[in-house]
């Protein structure tokens, strides 16, 4: 059974950093496209980043230069390193399988709150 | 970025009703369009991809169609478990973009 479990969210001050993790099971992260999608409170879905199976990465303009997507194949885990966090980064962050095509599996989400 | 515009933003319907949600792309996305359902506090769920292909396990009352840059999600007979918010998403190019969502509420 495919599962994605996010962790690492929490409260952080503006300008701070946080690393989100997404542990995958039921499939291998190394040969799949994986993405991060976020949802601000009461708002719609916003694509954040994708990592391709060949390690190419893409980012939304709103996070480019501040966020880094990566994966650890030995741990079958996806990461999102978030630096220079802003209030507008406050959201539930979902990891999802997919990125070239649609997102067929999603994690349960982890809440990131950026506030002083 | 390709803008995806959904209409309506919300609608009220009764169980058994036929519901139609439209998504318009600001430029051509071929058939690289997906529909998702999201319930409060839950992750989105993939319903349809390639504009009209039903994801495995999704009830057949859901269907998708396309006409140029206009895409339609239809629920043929609304069930109680279908009350949720629906999003379209294009995966034609980067950045991937979603519609703003359509909330389907109980009349």
pLDDT band at residue A17 under the 50/70/90 scheme: very high
Identify the pLDDT of residue A55: 83
Report the Cα–Cα distance between both ends of chain A, in Å, rounded.
40
Give the mutation candidate from A102, A103, A105 for the B interface (greatest B CB count, under 10 A).
A102
In tens, the pLDDT along B34-73 reads 999 999 999 999 999 999 999 999 999 999 999 989 999 9
| B79/chain A closest Cα distance in angstroms | 23
CB contacts, 8 Å: A22 with chain B: none
Using the Cβ of B55 and the Cβ atoms of chain A, whether some distance falls under 8 Å is answered with yes
Size of interface A-B (CB pairs under 8 A): 54
Identify the pLDDT of residue A5: 98
User: In sequence order, what DSSP letters do the residues of chain A get, joined into one string?
Assistant: --EEEEE--EEE-TT--EEEEEEEESS-GGGS-EEEEEE-TT--EEEEEEE-TTS-EEE-TTTTTTEEEEEETTTTEEEEEE-S--GGG-EEEEEEE-SSS---EE---EEEEE--
Using the Cβ of B97 and the Cβ atoms of chain A, whether some distance falls under 8 Å is answered with yes
In tens, the pLDDT along A50-92 reads 999 888 999 999 999 999 999 999 999 999 999 999 999 999 9
CB contacts, 8 Å: A99 with chain B: 91, 96
Contact A102 B45 (CB under 8 A): no
């Amino acid at each position: 059974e495919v599962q994605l479990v996010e962790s690492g969210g929490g409260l952080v001050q503006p300008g701070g950093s946080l690393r989100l993790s997404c542990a995958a099971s039921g499939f291998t992260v190394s040969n799949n496209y994986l993405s991060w999608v976020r949802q601000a409170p009461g708002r719609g879905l916003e694509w954040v980043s994708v990592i391709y199976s060949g390690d190419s990465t893409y980012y939304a303009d709103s996070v480019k230069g501040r966020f880094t997507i990566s994966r650890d194949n030995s741990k079958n885990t996806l990461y999102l390193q978030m630096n220079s966090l802003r209030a507008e980064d406050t959201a539930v962050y979902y990891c999802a399988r997919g990125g070239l095509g649609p997102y067929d599996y999603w994690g349960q989400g982890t809440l990131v709150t950026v506030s002083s | 970025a390709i803008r995806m515009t959904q209409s309506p933003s919300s609608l009220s319907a009764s169980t058994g009703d036929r519901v139609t949600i439209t998504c318009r792309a600001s430029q051509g996305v071929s058939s690289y369009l997906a529909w998702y359902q999201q319930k409060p506090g839950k992750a989105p769920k993939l319903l349809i991809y390639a504009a009209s292909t039903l994801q495995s396990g999704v009830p057949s009352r859901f269907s998708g169609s396309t006409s140029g840059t206009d895409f339609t999600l239809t629920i043929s007979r609304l069930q109680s478990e279908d009350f949720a918010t629906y999003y379209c998403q294009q995966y034609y190019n980067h950045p991937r973009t979603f519609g703003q969502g359509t909330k389907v509420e109980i009349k």
